[in-house]
Structure 1
Amino acid sequence: MGMELPNQFSDMEDVNISDYELVSRVKEVLTSVLNGETENYNQLVGVMHRSRNLGEDEVGLLETSLKGLSGAVSFIDIVHHESLLSAIFSMNMWNYGPELMDALVELIVALAISNGKFVDSCLGMLVSNFIPPSYFLDRLKQPRGLERKYQVTSRVHAALEEITKSVPLAPLRLLPIVLQRMPTIHKKDHTMIIYAENMLKLEGSVIGEVVGSTLLMAVVDRLIDLDVEIGWDDILQEDFSKCMFDMELEDMDQDDDYFEEDGHELLLTRKSLAGNAIADLLDSLMVITFNHLESCKDTGRLIEVFETLLQSFQLTVLNTYKSKFAQFVMFYACALDPENCGLRFATVLADIFVDKHHPELHRMSAVAYLSSYLSRGKFLSASFVASILRRLVDWCLEYCKTQDSDVNPKVHRVFYSGCQAIMYMLCFRLKSFMDVPRLKSQLLLMPLEEIFRHKLSPLKVCLPSVVQEFLRQAKAAHLFTISKTFVFDDLLESEFSRAFGGLERLDMFFPFDPCLLKKSDSIIRENFVFWSTVRPKYEYEEGSSDEDDEDDIVDENEEVLVDEIARSVDGQGLDLDEFDYALNKMSITPKDTFSYRFEGHFQEHSRMPSKIRPSTSPESL
């Protein structure tokens, strides 16, 4: 034992030294501390502190020392060898090559298995290697950097699984470590993306069988955190007085910064997010979440994982104030498995809406999500959408039968939310129903007229642009037997619509409006219904396809509206400015479905309807 440490290490680097001799010599160094001899021990600790830019001899010495320690873990004492343990647990695998990584992982696993007192420190050390040191971040953009990332993370996860095999409680001890070390929102780097990738990888491993649901929900929570960080001032540059159906972009990939609509210059909303670091981070996190869901589908785990997502959605997303994009994780999961996940999501939302035991705001939020989802999900069959529509209609009808009061947006807000959901869905889906004889017959038998003629007057309360579009299509489809005058006499915005969902309600709730995050949208759009693909020509009967008939419909509608406005002016003493304002509100849905003359020129509007509305929880509904 009188051999000096440098000589010992020199001997340990000898290729002819046996593993037994190597371990024996390390044990001697460790036990020497108990006798007050610290020189050799201190030099061993010094070797552990060597990290970057190691020479060949230094690499060999460190690798040999790590291997020797792996065989002598039973001699490592948590008190007497505190400095050695501190040095080991602070080592960063990103600084080393594959051979050193393997030697370090072997030591960490051996320590965790040898003594329960080391488990938390070993797990913490491995979790600390989820993300690279700051100097390495820029290298991740290069192939060699990505290769190093794979080398590190694959070994980290293999080590965690190896520890779990011998320490069954390791996942439960790992969970708080992972959650506590989750990076906060960074605007300058994307360490959160790498960390979330590792969390999702854990979710899909044997460790995820124990704590996977909590890890997945934590990732979704972080998506929400980022989502609400993006203020609507960062997105909404348009004139809010415009109809929601006027503002959806047909082509989200336009290069133009501006487009003209009705003579107004509007800033493209996606352009307004360009350079927004939080939006970029959220976009990237959503993409890796999408990728994880796709891998779950490939491994047959999607339905199981979806239940966790659904639980998370109900607890957080459903009632998150101003959630704009995080909800598309649910949308994509449903698109991956329409027959299971897709139908279940809609059914759960419908169940929440019709269940009076849920809080009113919860129900209103659910039906807003439901109508937007059923309108936008290309993967949902017309037959299924019609069945859910029937549930909503039946509920609204039963509600009407129990009420004999007049309009009151505050008292009957759940009912009005249901009516608006019905109209919004029909704006998108009516044509597909009319194209299928069975669904057309079912639709024509629905008591829509009875609901909308009720004393509660939903046409006066719901969002005017939705009412306008719905009535245009309803008239063309002959959904009502009543006169066109009645159909349109409730169209003008009233004090009730302003109180519930009129033009002053800038935060109307259509949560699955087009996604403005570029990378996420590129994944979602193949399963997404854009208004430009379904916008009607206001014709559903055979033989009524010529443009003259379409123009007649518009002209008739406008004539009725002019009469109504004129009567309002005469009866209420409105001044001419108010009259002009009312006239401007007549054609909420643009005439771009028809070619019409304006000052001697044909106007062709290429873009239309629902620009994303601030997707808020309906706290103010």
Structure 2
Amino acid sequence: MSITTEKRRLSSILKPYPSLESPKLNASLSQNKVRFDDLSIESVLQDALENNRLQRFEHLLASIKEEQFDENKFQQVFIDSKRCVHLLNANFGMLVEALLSVKWLSRSDTAQEIYKAFVIELLVAHSNYTSLVVSRLVQSFIPKDDDRSGWVHGVPTEETLRTVAPIHDLIVRLINVIPMLFDVILVHLRKNFPYFKKPTHVVCGFVHNMLCMTEYSSMFVEELLEIIFNRMLVIDVNAPRREIEEAEFPEDEQQIFMMEDDAVAGHNEDEEDVTMKMPLAETLDCCMELLFEYIKKRTSSENTNESDRMFKVLLSLFDNHILPTHNTHHVQFLIFYFCSFKQSYAEYFITYLWKQVCNPNVSTPMRQAAVGYLASMLARAKFVPISLLKSTLLEFSTWVHQYIQETDSMIGCTLKAHMVFYSICQAIFYVVAFRSKHLTASSKNLIFLQSLQLSSIVTCHLNPLRVCLPAVATAFAGVTRAHQLAYCHTILERNARRKLATIYKNEAQTPQECLETFFPFDPYILKKSSQRIDPIFLQYQASETEENHPISSPEARGRKRSESMSEDVDDFLQESKRLKNDQGAPQDFGEMHYTYSYGVSPGFHN
């Protein structure tokens, strides 16, 4: 009877304290202060277990929490704790929590080793403390708000690296003795990832430490990068291109439309002016630079297998996270950057995207997004050779012509019914217009363009020019007219008349049915990390024939401004802007407005 009563009493007394931060506990412990020298951890635990005497246990807990002991006493505490670790069962959870909360990273190397030995011994003896230990270690990866000086633009100083090195060393040792530990680590990394609006050095510090973990946990590279990519996408979506531009150029509107020219000039800012004015953009910029540097290091070695494995990881992350995410602006440049390392990577990525487009089992939004990535990649990547560009355009053309032949002309040509077809058509128009200088540089290339039968595409019963972005349609019309590949202006004019007739008939101006378009590899506008992209990013260049071939035919009269390859057609509109009179209607028809859900700049200017 007495034994049962003692066990129940011990359990009921030791377990009620849920946390070291309990106000009642703090008040109780502050009133009972004793010298730590008078306490022996092992004797205190034995006394509590065997005799149910808890007063000395409370004094021990208070002394450890106050942490008022020197280097020698610190070492003594953890040597004694390791010696009696077998006694630290679930009843003494508060003591374990107090020991794990002691600041150990600022101690000597010897003291750190003693602390690590205690933690390893604890988890080997008591697996129930695994989550608590891992949580403490992961939280140590998060820089404090006042640690900003240790992270210059998200890059750790030498002193900061030395501070976090013992944490990584302890994790490595724990993984060696408990192989399944990393599953718990992944859970706590997801749980403790800093809120995306935290200061830049806080988010970047955590990302840096996660990237360091991939070096000794190669089996979990994809899982670690997946956590980082998901959080980066959250930041990217919450830092729209328009808001970044408005923050960088709050007064001079004209500079917004010169962003691409600035990229050509190499962003010649002063060294002290590399900080983005928008806090989220600065966080994204620093994190992107960390990832670019990480990718470069992982592929700089001569180990081809390592590079190929990294490419497969990035492609998987792109497929599962980036491609389905709506309206991102910068994270996708990680795969763009990687593809520049080797032509085979670019070829594989383009082939992968095209398979997504052609697969009827893939959802229409995903297929449309894949077309956007394809078109933007072909237009903007300097590392894509002309041979790959031509072969992909031929694939586009073949698919489109087959679709036209298989589609009954009696079926309605609504945008929703033929979304993928219209997306591929616009991709053809966009790439031909953007890469016109290369595609018309020789008679051989011109013959290739003629083989695409562009005239048959624009004149088919589905009328793809009707739903294309006006800037793309007019740029394509200018290129094909200059090289006598197709004549689009009559179709553009007829489409505009039909639209106006509908408006006047209903006595109300209704939005034009226009293809929702996403060109993901548009100009990269983050300052620090842009140095990785600028050398491999292509700016628009008109061919000499186009420059010397102004649109002056009678049918183009009154719309030279909207259909010429001039600076007025240089940008797709941002989300809330409107494009005036771009569909090629004579000005007698009045002024028309076209609204898009979101758009990006095609960069059609000289």
Q: Which TM-score bucket, shorter chain as reference?
A: 0.7 to 0.9
Displacement of 1:167 in angstroms is: 1.2
> 1:151-175 deviations in whole A, cap 9, x for unaligned?
2322222221211121121111221
Q: Is 1:31 paired with 2:37?
A: no
Displacement of 1:88 in angstroms is: 1.8
> 1:309-366 deviations in whole A, cap 9, x for unaligned?
32332333223222122211221222234422x2222111111112222222211111
Ranges in structure 1 where 5+ consecutive residues have no aligned partner? 10-24, 258-270, 481-485, 540-549, 566-581, 592-607
> 1:391-445 deviations in whole A, cap 9, x for unaligned?
1111111111112427533322221111110111122323223446655543332
Displacement of 1:525 in angstroms is: 1.0
Q: Is 1:126 paired with 2:133?
A: no
Q: Is 1:358 paired with 2:362?
A: yes
Matched position secondary structure for 1:367: helix
CA distance in 1 between partners of 2:312 and 2:575 (Å): 27
2:79 counterpart residue number? 67
Task: Indicate how the Cα distance of structure 1 residues 144 and 456 shifts in structure 2: closer, same or farther if over 3 A, else same.
Answer: closer
Pick the aligned partner of 1:202 from 199, 206, 213.
213
CA distance in 1 between partners of 2:535 and 2:300 (Å): 19
Matched position secondary structure for 1:249: helix
Q: Is the 8 A contact 2:478 2:563 kept in 1?
A: no
Displacement of 1:177 in angstroms is: 1.3
Q: Is 1:560 paired with 2:554?
A: yes
Q: Is 1:154 paired with 2:165?
A: yes
1:222 counterpart residue number? 231
Task: Indicate how the Cα distance of structure 1 residues 60 and 147 shifts in structure 2: closer, same or farther if over 3 A, else same.
Answer: farther
Task: Map 1:162-201 onto structure 2 (within 5 A).
Answer: 162-201=173-212
Displacement of 1:588 in angstroms is: 5.3
Task: Map 1:100-499 onto structure 2 (within 5 A).
Answer: 100-141=111-152, 146-206=157-217, 208-209=218-219, 211-231=220-240, 234-235=243-244, 249-252=260-263, 274-298=276-300, 300=303, 301-340=306-345, 342-405=346-409, 407-435=413-441, 439-480=445-486, 486-492=487-493, 494=496
Matched position secondary structure for 1:252: helix
**Could you state the TM-score of these two structures normalised by the residue count of structure 2?**
0.76
CA distance in 2 between partners of 1:223 and 1:612 (Å): 25
* Comparing 378-387 and 42-51, the one that deviates more: 42-51
Task: Indicate how the Cα distance of structure 1 residues 199 and 488 shifts in structure 2: closer, same or farther if over 3 A, else same.
Answer: same
Q: Is the 8 A contact 2:264 2:534 kept in 1?
A: no
Q: Is the 8 A contact 2:467 2:514 kept in 1?
A: no
Task: Indicate how the Cα distance of structure 1 residues 120 and 246 shifts in structure 2: closer, same or farther if over 3 A, else same.
Answer: closer
> 1:129-161 deviations in whole A, cap 9, x for unaligned?
112344434444599983442123222222212
CA distance in 2 between partners of 1:253 and 1:435 (Å): 22
Q: Is the 8 A contact 2:45 2:87 kept in 1?
A: yes
2:96 counterpart residue number? 85
Q: Is 1:48 paired with 2:64?
A: yes
Matched position secondary structure for 2:528: helix
CA distance in 2 between partners of 1:256 and 1:152 (Å): 34
2:14 counterpart residue number? none
Displacement of 1:247 in angstroms is: 6.2
Q: Which amino acid in structure 2 is aligned with residue 462 of structure 1?
A: C
CA distance in 2 between partners of 1:346 and 1:522 (Å): 24
CA distance in 2 between partners of 1:248 and 1:415 (Å): 32
Q: Is the 8 A contact 2:233 2:331 kept in 1?
A: yes
Q: Is 1:589 paired with 2:554?
A: no
Q: Which has the higher contact order (CA 8 A, sep 6+)?
A: 1
Matched position secondary structure for 2:131: helix
Q: Is the 8 A contact 2:381 2:536 kept in 1?
A: yes
Q: Is the 8 A contact 1:246 1:588 kept in 2?
A: no
Task: Indicate how the Cα distance of structure 1 residues 436 and 363 shifts in structure 2: closer, same or farther if over 3 A, else same.
Answer: same
**Could you state the TM-score of these two structures normalised by the residue count of structure 1?**
0.74
CA distance in 2 between partners of 1:99 and 1:136 (Å): 25
Q: Is 1:512 paired with 2:521?
A: yes
> 1:203-237 deviations in whole A, cap 9, x for unaligned?
3422x40x332221121111111112124652466
CA distance in 2 between partners of 1:443 and 1:277 (Å): 46
CA distance in 1 between partners of 2:476 and 2:336 (Å): 25
Q: Is the 8 A contact 2:100 2:133 kept in 1?
A: yes
CA distance in 1 between partners of 2:538 and 2:321 (Å): 26
Displacement of 1:448 in angstroms is: 2.2
> 1:527-570 deviations in whole A, cap 9, x for unaligned?
11122xx333335xxxxxxxxxx54x20xx2333445x6xxxxx
What is the CA RMSD across the aligned residues, in angstroms? 3.9
CA distance in 2 between partners of 1:377 and 1:462 (Å): 23
CA distance in 1 between partners of 2:162 and 2:481 (Å): 64
CA distance in 2 between partners of 1:327 and 1:247 (Å): 23
CA distance in 1 between partners of 2:381 and 2:429 (Å): 16
Matched position secondary structure for 1:168: coil
CA distance in 1 between partners of 2:225 and 2:267 (Å): 38
Displacement of 1:510 in angstroms is: 1.3
Task: Indicate how the Cα distance of structure 1 residues 466 and 400 shifts in structure 2: closer, same or farther if over 3 A, else same.
Answer: same
Identity %: 22
Q: Is the 8 A contact 2:123 2:130 kept in 1?
A: yes
CA distance in 2 between partners of 1:609 and 1:620 (Å): 16
Q: Is the 8 A contact 2:61 2:95 kept in 1?
A: yes
Task: Indicate how the Cα distance of structure 1 residues 123 and 458 shifts in structure 2: closer, same or farther if over 3 A, else same.
Answer: same
Q: Is the 8 A contact 1:47 1:62 kept in 2?
A: no
CA distance in 2 between partners of 1:345 and 1:107 (Å): 49
Q: Is the 8 A contact 1:203 1:212 kept in 2?
A: yes
Q: Give the aligned length.
A: 521
Displacement of 1:91 in angstroms is: 2.9
1:538 counterpart residue number? 545
CA distance in 2 between partners of 1:203 and 1:338 (Å): 26
CA distance in 1 between partners of 2:447 and 2:54 (Å): 91
Task: Indicate how the Cα distance of structure 1 residues 60 and 393 shifts in structure 2: closer, same or farther if over 3 A, else same.
Answer: same
Matched position secondary structure for 1:490: helix
CA distance in 2 between partners of 1:336 and 1:256 (Å): 23
Task: Indicate how the Cα distance of structure 1 residues 311 and 614 shifts in structure 2: closer, same or farther if over 3 A, else same.
Answer: farther
Displacement of 1:513 in angstroms is: 0.6
Matched position secondary structure for 1:511: coil
Q: Is the 8 A contact 2:422 2:515 kept in 1?
A: no
Q: Is the 8 A contact 1:561 1:586 kept in 2?
A: no
Q: Which amino acid in structure 1 is aligned with residue 72 of structure 2?
A: G
Q: Is the 8 A contact 2:82 2:118 kept in 1?
A: yes
